[in-house]
Chains A and B, each alone.
Chain A
Amino acid sequence: MPIITYRDALNQALREEMQRDDRVFLMGEEVAVYQGAYKVSKGLLQEFGEMRVVDTPITELGFAGVGVGAAMVGLRPVIEFMTWNFALLAIDQVVNAAAKMLYMSGGQYPMPMVFRGPNGAALQLSAQHSQAWESWLAHIPGLKVVSPGTPYDAKGLLKAAIRDDNPVVFFEGEMMYNHKGEVPDGEYIVPIGKADLKREGAHCTLVTYGKSVPLALQVADTMAKDGIELDVLDLRTIRPLDTEALATSVRKTNRVVVLEEGWEFCGVGAQIVDYCQRDCFDDLDAPVVRVHQADVPMPYAKNIEKAAKPDLAKTVAAVRKVMYLD
């Protein structure tokens, strides 16, 4: 199977869906002439022309709204945010328009559109540029929220998101774009709403998604050397959440650690903990432990930035804690 980057996987998904359906177009800052701030849209302008690969001014609120309007009357927009930090300016259109249009219109106006871009911290970009927004968007009924952690899932999920008749919020990662993995030639879809057991083990469930998936696998490798086997459950979709896959794994291992990039308070992990206590109360042998960013804005200096982020050591310690190994 070909091994390609996460970036190229997304690029393939966009290209294939644009070839398949001429209602699909891509709009955002630097997506066309510059070939994408992170080169995800490389070559698309040349293939599809400037009506379908559209550079915008720096005007997130505006072009997110343009996407909503176009979706109302029959197009299938893919709106790229250079990063999700800047999407905050467009949040009114995502939350007040896209997420509610179907409901407000009594079912008359579905919103077949995708809002996508990199999310979370990269390296030393400090407070305004290092934020993980998935728990904010996952809070909103009327949105689907997806966050792939491998090139395979990135391609399959983006294709599913573009074909979905609902607004899908799609979280990528700046640090993920160069990440490589197997992606088959030819057509496939990864369904929205299905988690994936990335690795099987009997001792503890490590729940994660998106950029934390490679880290979780590294944790599992490390702990396997000490004979500790982890179920690494990659949610892939945060909303709707695959509670069945979660319960299946928890009933097997009886112990859970949740690993996420974002802040603790009202984070995605809090929701996972709730499902665990609701569905698997009697199966739990220990309180669920969460690994997340320190409860502060992201600092610039290397040493304190590192201290703020979840990492291998913190995650290993969390697993050891739920297993009462220390």
Chain B
Amino acid sequence: MAKKKADAPAGSTAGATDPSTRAELLRSMLLQRRFEERCAEAYALGRIGGFCHLYIGQEACGTGVISMLRPDDYVITTYRDHGQALARGITPRAVMAELFGRSDGCVRGKGGSMHLFDRATNFLGGHGIVGGHVPIGTGVGFAIKYRGGDQACACFMGESVVNTGAFHEALNMAGLWKLPVVYIIENNRYGMGTALERASAIHDIYQRGAAYDMPRGVVDGQDVLAVRQAMGEALHRARTESMPTLLEVRTYRFMGHSMSDAVSGTYRSKQELEEYMQRDPINVLRQHMESLGEIDDARMAAMDDEVRAVVQDAWDFAEASPEPALESLYEDVLVETTT
């Protein structure tokens, strides 16, 4: 769905939507939500192992950003990557099979939850080392500029990343060399159990962009249309002026940091959680669409049934997919050189 946006008008009205786009956005977010809910279930059943970081509560960020991209743009992100992978168009089957550690997974069972990749959709991976992928995003921007053209790279990260050295190095180069990268900070207020205010000397973190003379902004991350608007402006700058942007998207994670962590506890109260859950990104869009007469309970229920069936199909597919062959253990370490 994201990939159809090639004809989106450039400029500041780029985020504007029509009824069918809004319906697509709603469906995409709902699919991600239902997918993640089933992941939690699969994790509890031991079908999914390792670290598993869910996207519930943050769907509007990835959906808004990715819906503005063209198929030839690039996406790079963190370990919290299921929702973005789906938004970019990796099939629920390929993602679920990966999470189940099966050979039909999008990286053949090698990576799991934290390392979803897909060459076909220019999805350059979920990365597990905090901050590590940000210079890589800058490198993608460098390559775009090097080759010419007006592609862009969307580089997602959590707000804790701004405190890593890699972030500073990467954004400085992007500012210095004017690279077409949009750095999207999904500020969900916590890195594991550490609140932003306990980790960063400044709290309006988009202002970090000032240090690199980089255009910057902050947007409501629960409002997918607002995210689209901001992303549209950033993309316009990237495509027409080869300029980077630092975009802070304020959101909240409704689950624990990963499936092994408590949802609330020592670091945030249940009350705070419940307050933030009032602004569920799916409901925010739904209410907007209701006010426009574009959706009602019956159509919402039908959409929900449809995405639930898609997720069930992904689960069934993953379960039926074979485990990786033992020989595959030794494959993909190095590639055969052909040049």
Q: Is B235 an interface residue (CB 8 A)?
A: no
- Complex Cα gap A198–B198 (Å): 45
A119 to chain B minimum Cβ distance, whole angstroms, is 15
**For A85, what are the chain B residues with a Cβ–Cβ distance below 8 Å?**
128-129
Q: Is A70 an interface residue (CB 8 A)?
A: no
Residue of A nearest to B191 (CB): A58
Report yes or no: B194 in contact with A124, Cβ–Cβ below 8 A.
no
**For A30, what are the chain B residues with a Cβ–Cβ distance below 8 Å?**
192-194
| Interface of chain B, main secondary structure | loop
Stretch touching chain A among B21-29, B157-165, B218-226, B275-283: B157-165
Contact status of A58 and B199, CB under 8 A, knowing A34-B192, A129-B128, A297-B333: yes
**For A126, what are the chain B residues with a Cβ–Cβ distance below 8 Å?**
50, 110-112, 114-115, 128
**For B328, what are the chain A residues with a Cβ–Cβ distance below 8 Å?**
299, 304
Q: Which of B101, B193, B198 contacts A302 (CB 8 A)?
A: B101
Contact status of A296 and B192, CB under 8 A, knowing A57-B160, A86-B129, A126-B115: no
**For A33, what are the chain B residues with a Cβ–Cβ distance below 8 Å?**
193-194, 198, 266-267
Report yes or no: A86 in contact with B130, Cβ–Cβ below 8 A.
yes
Interface size class of B (residues with CB under 8 A): 35 or more
**For B163, what are the chain A residues with a Cβ–Cβ distance below 8 Å?**
57-59
A276 to chain B minimum Cβ distance, whole angstroms, is 28
**For B161, what are the chain A residues with a Cβ–Cβ distance below 8 Å?**
58
Report yes or no: A124 in contact with B49, Cβ–Cβ below 8 A.
yes
Residue of B nearest to A34 (CB): B193
B258 to chain A minimum Cβ distance, whole angstroms, is 11
Q: Is B109 an interface residue (CB 8 A)?
A: yes
Residue of A nearest to B109 (CB): A301
Q: Is B131 an interface residue (CB 8 A)?
A: yes
B211 to chain A minimum Cβ distance, whole angstroms, is 16
Q: Which residues of A from 8 to 57 have beta carbons under 8 Å from B?
A: 29-30, 33-35, 37, 55-57
Contact status of A34 and B267, CB under 8 A, knowing A58-B161, A58-B163: yes
Residue of B nearest to A300 (CB): B112
Residue of B nearest to A294 (CB): B329
Q: Which residues of A from 268 to 312 have beta carbons under 8 Å from B?
A: 294-297, 299-304, 307-308
Contact status of A304 and B326, CB under 8 A, knowing A58-B131, A127-B115, A128-B128: yes
- Complex Cα gap A124–B199 (Å): 29
- Complex Cα gap A297–B257 (Å): 25
Q: Is A3 an interface residue (CB 8 A)?
A: no
Report yes or no: B50 in contact with A300, Cβ–Cβ below 8 A.
yes
**For B139, what are the chain A residues with a Cβ–Cβ distance below 8 Å?**
none
Interface string of B190-213 (1 = CB under 8 A from A): 011110001110000000000000
Q: Which of A37, A124, A299, A308 contacts B192 (CB 8 A)?
A: A37
A129 to chain B minimum Cβ distance, whole angstroms, is 6
- Complex Cα gap A30–B330 (Å): 36
A283 to chain B minimum Cβ distance, whole angstroms, is 35
Q: Is A89 an interface residue (CB 8 A)?
A: yes
**For A129, what are the chain B residues with a Cβ–Cβ distance below 8 Å?**
50-51, 114, 128
B101 to chain A minimum Cβ distance, whole angstroms, is 3
Report yes or no: B101 in contact with A55, Cβ–Cβ below 8 A.
no
| Interface of chain A, main secondary structure | loop
Q: Is A137 an interface residue (CB 8 A)?
A: no
Interface string of A122-137 (1 = CB under 8 A from B): 0111111100000000
Q: Is A61 an interface residue (CB 8 A)?
A: yes
- Complex Cα gap A285–B154 (Å): 61
Q: Which residues of B from 71 to 103 have beta carbons under 8 Å from A?
A: 98, 101-102
**For A86, what are the chain B residues with a Cβ–Cβ distance below 8 Å?**
129-130
Report yes or no: B266 in contact with A34, Cβ–Cβ below 8 A.
yes
Report yes or no: A303 in contact with B324, Cβ–Cβ below 8 A.
yes
**For B115, what are the chain A residues with a Cβ–Cβ distance below 8 Å?**
126-128, 300
B99 to chain A minimum Cβ distance, whole angstroms, is 9
Contact status of A57 and B129, CB under 8 A, knowing A30-B194, A123-B50, A294-B329: no
Q: Which of B102, B128, B329 contacts A299 (CB 8 A)?
A: B329
**For A88, what are the chain B residues with a Cβ–Cβ distance below 8 Å?**
129
Contact status of A57 and B199, CB under 8 A, knowing A300-B112, A308-B329: yes
**For A304, what are the chain B residues with a Cβ–Cβ distance below 8 Å?**
109-110, 323-324, 326, 328-329
A121 to chain B minimum Cβ distance, whole angstroms, is 10
B35 to chain A minimum Cβ distance, whole angstroms, is 18
Contact status of A296 and B128, CB under 8 A, knowing A89-B165, A128-B114: no
Residue of A nearest to B129 (CB): A128
- Complex Cα gap A58–B194 (Å): 10
Q: Which residues of B from 124 to 138 have beta carbons under 8 Å from A?
A: 127-131
- Complex Cα gap A86–B198 (Å): 20
Q: Is A62 an interface residue (CB 8 A)?
A: yes
A76 to chain B minimum Cβ distance, whole angstroms, is 25
B41 to chain A minimum Cβ distance, whole angstroms, is 17
Q: Which residues of B from 164 to 197 have beta carbons under 8 Å from A?
A: 164-166, 191-194
Given A34-B194, A304-B329, 9 further pairs, Cβ under 8 A: A37-B192, A57-B163, A61-B165, A86-B130, A89-B166, A127-B110, A128-B127, A299-B110, A301-B109
15 contacts between A and B (CB under 8 A): A30-B192, A30-B194, A33-B194, A34-B192, A37-B192, A57-B164, A57-B200, A59-B164, A124-B49, A126-B50, A296-B329, A299-B328, A299-B329, A301-B102, A302-B101
Q: Which 6 A-B pairs have the closest CB atoms?
A: A300-B112, A301-B101, A124-B49, A301-B109, A124-B50, A57-B163
